[in-house]
Amino acid sequence: MSKKRYSPYSILLLAFIDLIFLIGLFFLFLFIHDSGWERSLHGLLVFAKVHYKSLVLIILFWLLVAGQVGLYNRFRFSRFLDILRRIVFQMVIFAIILFAISGGKKESLYTSIESFYFLSILFIYLFFSRLLIQNILKYYRKKGFNLRNVILLGFNDNSQGLEDLLVKKAEFGLKIKDIFVVKNPKENQSLLDLNSLNQYLQTQEIDFAYISLGNGMDEKMVGKVTDILENKYIPIGFIPSSSLEIKQSLEINYLDSFPILTYKKYPLDNILNQFIKRVFDIAFTFIVFLFLLSWLLPLLSIMVYFSQGSPILFKQKRNGLNGKEFDCLKFRTMRDDKDNNKKPTERNDPRVTKLGKILRKTSLDELPQFINVLKGEMSIVGPRPHMVSENEVYAEIIKKYSLRHYVKPGITGLAQVKGYRGAVDSDKDMEMRIRTDIYYVRNWSFLLDLFIIYKTGKLMIFGDKNAI
């Protein structure tokens, strides 16, 4: 059973409302500053044309700063003090940028007092809007809505404190569904068995898991339990014991004042980064369709049809974000064979046609996957989606294999431009590919995506010796 991540639409809606308020405030203070503009639709359009560059810069920097300070992080685990801290950081950095943009024009956007009022109103809006949202969510969850199921694995001196806190603080919307312990189960507890846990997670909707360290939950057991949870795409928190030494890969978060250790977040866990990546995917795809695919797709379709008949496209089940299956599209490059959906391509594979070899060598067979990008199933850049049969095999062999499904699969990826594409002659070949994919997941940046696209273009033009 694949885990679905929570919908980002509520966060994106909040960001959209913030931008509408920001744009409205921008023009309101411009009108106050410049009272001589013509009061007509034409005058308004002229006014907007004069100042649109400043507005674009303000919106861009607002979003960039918001991504860095976490202004649009989820509210479930955030204390209002943390939210207020993000608002203050956002406003301080944004104020510096606003004054810089204003000072860079021949005539300042606003006077100093106007800028002060502009920023003050914006701060008041952010403060009260977040306060309202958090209180609405608290009330909503106390009434039994928007709940998330939690399991506790292991039990140490601090576990009871977390259990009591979640009962007392219903506004977190976290419901303890089951507790599994390593030894001596008490009432309402079950003995932890790894095989049973795997079966349990197949049938139950679990949103979070907290592992209590110590008291029989040694490092080896923690590793096994963590692997099982990660393969089900369940977020993990760690309940520290008093003797715990915090690892560098963990960070402290708090439920109220209760400490919880969690893995440091990946860049694409950030909603704003997801939004930036999705906007780029759509914009890049439309540009490619406009200048390249509008004529190349029909041409290649005709060539494939006359070379080997219909169907022109080959659909194959692949695992995408969070392991969810989707139909990955490619130009058909192989002769009909019962094993095409099961057996990966090999070196000098006799199933590949003459035209298919050319399409594969130049990666032109992948072009229909831009349709998958528009559908939201894939991204321009990401780990290449593997066949379902490959996932089932290598998930058992290669540790952390499932981490590559924490982001959308891509038409191209870091592993491909690093030379880890093509035939898999050994488990070591696949391990190197997966290691590179995991690096991408943990270290994503927009510049890294641009670098991978640039390297992919070079390989398409000059050829890739690893393409088969």
Q: Does position 465 have pLDDT exceeding 70, yes or no?
A: no
pLDDT attached to residue 244: 41
Considering 44-58, 240-254, 303-317, the range whose residues carry the highest mean pLDDT is 303-317
Poorest-pLDDT segment among 161-175, 213-227, 248-262, 321-335: 248-262
Q: Give the pLDDT score at 1.
A: 40
pLDDT tens digits, one per residue of 19-38? 999 999 988 888 787 766 66
- The 10s digit of each residue's pLDDT in 76-125 is 777 787 888 899 999 999 999 988 887 766 666 778 898 899 999 999 99
Q: Which of 41-45, 267-271, 407-411 has the lowest mean pLDDT?
A: 41-45
Range 209-222 average pLDDT: 86
* Of residues 88 and 52, more confidently modeled: 88
Banded pLDDT at 3 (limits 50, 70, 90)? very low
Predicted pLDDT of residue 129:
95
Give ∠ CA 352-325-327 in degrees, rounded to 5.
45
C-alpha Rg value of the chain to the nearest Å: 26
Higher pLDDT among residues 266 and 46, named by residue:
266
Say if domain 148-264 classifies as CATH 3.40.50.150: yes
Among the listed residues 187, 190, 168, 194, the one whose alpha carbon sits nearest the alpha carbon of residue 179: 190
| Distance (Å, whole) CA 450 – CA 237 | 33
The pTM assigned to this predicted structure is 0.66
- pLDDT tier at 243, thresholds 50, 70, 90: very low
Amino acid at 273: N
- In the chain, the percentage of residues whose pLDDT exceeds 70 is 85
d(CA 127, CA 27): 21
| Higher-pLDDT residue of 405, 117 | 117
With left for phi above 0 and alpha for psi between -120 and 50, is residue 214 left, alpha or beta?
A: left
CA distance 268 to 442: 8
Structure tokens at 408: 């959308």
**Cα 178 to Cα 200: distance, rounded to the nearest angstrom:** 10
Lowest mean pLDDT among 48-52, 217-221, 280-284, 311-315: 48-52
User: What's the average model confidence in pLDDT over 307-331?
Assistant: 89
Q: Work out the number of other CB atoms within 10 angstroms of the CB of residue 25.
A: 17
For residue 258 the two structure tokens come to 């209760």
Q: CA-CA distances (angstroms) from residue 343 to 211, 359, 387?
A: 39, 19, 9
pLDDT of residue 396: 66
pLDDT in tens, 417-464: 888 776 556 667 777 788 888 889 988 988 899 989 988 988 888 766
Model confidence over 5-24: pLDDT tens digits?
A: 455 678 889 999 999 999 99
pLDDT value for 167:
84
Q: Between residues 349 and 303, which one has the greater pLDDT?
A: 303
Residue 311 structure tokens: 């169907």
pLDDT at 5: 45
Q: Which residue has the higher pLDDT, 460 or 291?
A: 291
List pLDDT tens digits, range 187-205: 888 889 888 998 899 889 9
Q: Cα(461)–Cα(464) distance, rounded to whole angstroms?
A: 9
Q: What angle do CA 417, 341, 329 make, to 5 degrees?
A: 55
Residue 135 in this model has a pLDDT that exceeds 80: yes
Domain ranges of the chain: 9-142, 148-264, 271-462
The DSSP 8-state label assigned to residue 383 in this structure reads: P
Residue 165 and residue 77 in contact, taking contact as beta carbons nearer than 8 Å: no
% of the chain residues with pLDDT over 90: 31
pLDDT (tens digit per residue) in 324-382: 899 999 999 888 766 655 666 666 677 888 888 888 888 889 999 999 999 999 999 99
pLDDT grade for 232, boundaries at 50, 70 and 90: confident
